[in-house]
Structure 1
Amino acid sequence: MTEISAVLHGNGNVSTDCFTRETPAAQTGSMAIHVARGADEWARVISESFVPLSLVTMSGAVTGSVRSSALGPAVTLSAVRVQGQSVAARTSRLVRTEPRDDFLFSLHLDGDGAVVQDGHEAVLARGGGVLYDSARPYQLIFPTSHRQLVLQIPRHQLSDRVGRVAEVCGRALPPAGPGVRVLAACVRELAETCESLTSTPRAELGVTTVDLLATVLRAALGHDVGPRGLPGRAALLASMRTYVRDHLSDPRLSLTELARCHGVSVRYTSELFAAEDSSPAAFIRAERLRAARRLLADPRYSALTVSTVATRCGFADRTTFTRAFVRAYGLPPVALRAAHGDQSE
């Protein structure tokens, strides 16, 4: 059994040796491993691995590990293991001064814990989960050692699929629900196997996992319709936007491909975007640049070169990407990365 398998499937007495053999911030390809041996280190690890958090309370003798894997350009799956107790908070001040626009879904594997957001307290059961929003304050309360798997997903990827996502944040998704059981099995297996996959199937499985989560959330909201329950043209446009965001790395992504995949004409596809004062090409380019900007500003992806970021986001070459990036944001990609504390080319 691999070290990560022991973490994910072992009992509550798994030795911390499986963490301390890793370097404090090892990173290879699409995977990053962060290790903490104390409260101060853990505060840094959780903020760097997810979103900026404030450590409210914690036991002194704590050992923790976060092992994160990229599932496509913007979705990450992290295996978290902590020995000790802690309370971490995404405070109103951090929401204001360190803004983020992601949803996080925690699948609880072991230990006691709760997530509090918007006045709701989700007590975590083994095999159950909870969704919370980084754009609003929340607390993560763990009175005992715990293990969990955490999906971090850009807001638009769930909003396009679900709609009223805020209504389910901070509410426990019980493990007995059939949708939760399927989602939990998928997330566990993906955590086990994703590092043995190449980038394309890993990204495709990431899309599938987000789709499964959206299905669970729609059921929790009490409806089984598509995104937002939108009729006709609006629903088709929402579906096309989601398709673009899920396939940014595909060099074939274009107006023609978008129309073909949705069974409509090129002209009709253009009309849908024109009604929103846009075009398929402009939308694709804007979303690719947005994804690239996210990767460049995120320290979890500091090992990726600018050329690799360009390729992952669907640009043919670095020169084309740099020109488009400067037009959109007023500075080259390297300058943006340097502004976030990394000088990597």
Structure 2
Amino acid sequence: MAVLLDTTVLPRSDRAEAFYTAMMSASVPSRVEHEDRHGDVHARMDFWQLGASDLFRNEGSGIRLVRTPKHVRIGAPERLALAVQVIGSGLFSQGGADRRVHTGELMLVDLTAPYEFAWTGRGASQAFQIDYDDLGLSVETVRAAARRLPSSPLYELVLHHLTVLPAVGDSLQGTRSASMLGAATTQLVRALLSSAAAEDSQRHPSMSDVLFTRITWYARRHLTDPDLGPARIAAEHNISLRYLYKVFSEHHLSFEQWLIGERLEGARRQLASPASRYRSIAAIAAEWGFVDAGHFTRRFRRAHGLTPQDWRRLNQA
């Protein structure tokens, strides 16, 4: 987590300007109006980088953010934000629609269009921000979803996920898993928006996408567990083995081959690491679930075109 702003360490006269600078660095250009126009501004802004996406939390005294057509013309990354109101309630306006966003509710903001958002007194909001290119949905789909987010069967799941995301993000900062968490969250948001924008008959593929994301996220965190296999994964996600295989087949994958590929990739990274220079290839293979060193060598060469020994020699020369 990076602390972008903490007004408790700033002179009162500098807080409004510092707030504006921090807000512009974390989000898109907009006009900032403070409830206390004489500068009694209280705020803390925290920021988590999660691969290509990010999480931004703002807590403090009353504000009003106005993104005008002029701001849109100035240009900014084509992004959207899915925010949860953590403290207080806010008034959000976009596309001719006004709504009150209460504590514990989601709000979808299309950052490529004008909008207004404000709260009075103390409030807090945290937003997961994604580029449209990474989301893979059209602007039309996003805007259709914005009008009916609570209709999605994924609403409560995504709400809970975003609520606990800061604590999880703190524990993963600086690791490869932080990017994986961002990618998994993007998948969840995509499924939420797709299901909210679609007719009921079109929602089931999105549910499968969510389950696939949860399973692959779980499996990647436990790749070195000796007992990680289809039976354990199915039990952890309260599904049958048959349905587990069906979820992967819908993504044109074999579960077993996907798991072997992920473990081979983990072993490949470890073989190239200076920290593993003095570990035997057999020990590294066993750690990643390959008890037969000969089988590991054959699979590794088939996947990467080199034997494990040649790969290690190439990367640790």
Does the alignment reach a TM-score above 0.5?
yes
CA contact (8 A) 1:163 1:227 kept: no
**Match of 1:274?**
none
Are residue 103 (structure 1) and residue 103 (structure 2) matched?
A: no
CA contact (8 A) 2:44 2:59 kept: yes
| Aligned-pair CA distance for 1:190 | 2.0
Q: 1:70 corresponds to which letter in structure 2?
A: Q
Q: How does 1:197-208 map to 2 (within 5 A)?
A: 197=172, 198-208=174-184
- CA separation of 1:200 and 1:163: change in aligned 2, threshold 3 A: farther
Are residue 214 (structure 1) and residue 190 (structure 2) matched?
A: yes
Instruction: Provide the C-alpha distance between the structure 2 equivalents of 1:153 and 1:147, rounded to a whole number of angstroms.
Output: 20
Instruction: Provide the C-alpha distance between the structure 2 equivalents of 1:58 and 1:105, rounded to a whole number of angstroms.
Output: 24
CA distances 1:114-168 after superposition (whole Å, capped 9, x unpaired)? 2211111231121111111111111111123111211110012223489611223
Q: How does 1:103-122 map to 2 (within 5 A)?
A: 103-122=80-99
Computed over aligned residues only, the root mean square deviation of the Cα atoms, in angstroms, reads 3.1
Moved more, 178-187 or 138-147: 178-187
Instruction: Provide the C-alpha distance between the structure 1 equivalents of 2:20 and 2:205, rounded to a whole number of angstroms.
Output: 37
CA contact (8 A) 1:39 1:58 kept: no
Give SS of 1:33's match.
Answer: strand
- CA separation of 1:173 and 1:126: change in aligned 2, threshold 3 A: farther
**Match of 1:232?**
none
The percent of aligned pairs where both chains have the same amino acid is 21
Q: How does 1:1-345 map to 2 (within 5 A)?
A: 31-36=2-7, 38-59=15-36, 60-72=39-51, 74-82=52-60, 84-160=61-137, 164-169=141-146, 171=147, 173-174=149-150, 178-197=153-172, 198-223=174-199, 225=202, 263=252
Q: 2:166 corresponds to which letter in structure 1?
A: A
Give SS of 1:164's match.
Answer: helix
Instruction: Provide the C-alpha distance between the structure 2 equivalents of 1:191 and 1:138, rounded to a whole number of angstroms.
Output: 25
Q: 1:190 corresponds to which letter in structure 2?
A: L
CA contact (8 A) 2:148 2:197 kept: no
CA contact (8 A) 1:81 1:147 kept: yes
Q: Larger C-alpha radius of gyration, 1 or 2?
A: 2
CA distances 1:271-316 after superposition (whole Å, capped 9, x unpaired)? xxxxxxxxxxxxxxxxxxxxxxxxxxxxxxxxxxxxxxxxxxxxxx
Give SS of 1:144's match.
Answer: coil
Instruction: Provide the C-alpha distance between the structure 1 equivalents of 2:83 and 2:141, rounded to a whole number of angstroms.
Output: 19
Bigger fraction of residues in helix = 2
Q: Which runs of 5+ in 2 are unaligned?
A: 207-248, 254-317
Instruction: Provide the C-alpha distance between the structure 1 equivalents of 2:141 and 2:76, rounded to a whole number of angstroms.
Output: 21
CA distances 1:3-42 after superposition (whole Å, capped 9, x unpaired)? xxxxxxxxxxxxxxxxxxxxxxxxxxx6343234533322
| Aligned-pair CA distance for 1:57 | 4.4
Q: Which runs of 5+ in 1 are unaligned?
A: 1-29, 230-259, 265-345
Instruction: Provide the C-alpha distance between the structure 1 equivalents of 2:102 and 2:53, rounded to a whole number of angstroms.
Output: 24
Flag as ranges the 4+ runs of structure 1 deviating above 6 A. 226-229
Give SS of 2:185's match.
Answer: helix
Instruction: Provide the C-alpha distance between the structure 1 equivalents of 2:148 and 2:87, rounded to a whole number of angstroms.
Output: 15
Give SS of 1:168's match.
Answer: helix
Instruction: Provide the C-alpha distance between the structure 1 equivalents of 2:133 and 2:45, rounded to a whole number of angstroms.
Output: 25
CA contact (8 A) 1:161 1:228 kept: no
TM-score (norm 2): 0.56
TM-score (norm 1): 0.52
| Aligned-pair CA distance for 1:201 | 1.4
Instruction: Provide the C-alpha distance between the structure 1 equivalents of 2:140 and 2:176, rounded to a whole number of angstroms.
Output: 27
